[in-house]
Amino acid sequence: MVFHTIVRFLHIIFFASWFGTILASLFFLKAIESKLTGCDGNTAEFAALLQRFVKLETKVADVAVIGVILSGILLAVFYHGWTLWVGAKIVLMVLQIGLTIGYILRSVRSLTYPCSKLEYNSWYRLFGISLTMFAVVLFVTFFLL
């Protein structure tokens, strides 16, 4: 019973960490928006800062995602079994990761700074995708399972 509690606790912590990295990135990008969309002379400096932040945030998010997956597998193997609902959560997580990575490759990686506010909105659409998928996963987990 103690093992189940620990694994479930870790699962929640990793999920919260993943969610937290998304929110931290959203706030950071909002804070530096005017520096990356304007004609300020510091654009290169803020673009380098953004690149460094994204690298660090990605490391934390990757650990969190791997933690969610591994703890979820442990919970499925030892406690819940491979039910239809576990399968639904797996599909939702794969969809979330796929949509996020796909959108990053398609729309965000090609941004150069300074850029227009319209182009910069690609970042906010990315967060819209991520936060919507988090909401769907949480809704399914807490209200349908």
Residues in the chain predicted with pLDDT less than 70, given as ranges, are 145
Sequence ranges of the domains in the chain: 2-144
Within 10 A of 94 (CB to CB), how many other CB atoms are there?
11
> How much is the pTM?
0.89
pLDDT at 145: 65
pLDDT at 3: 94
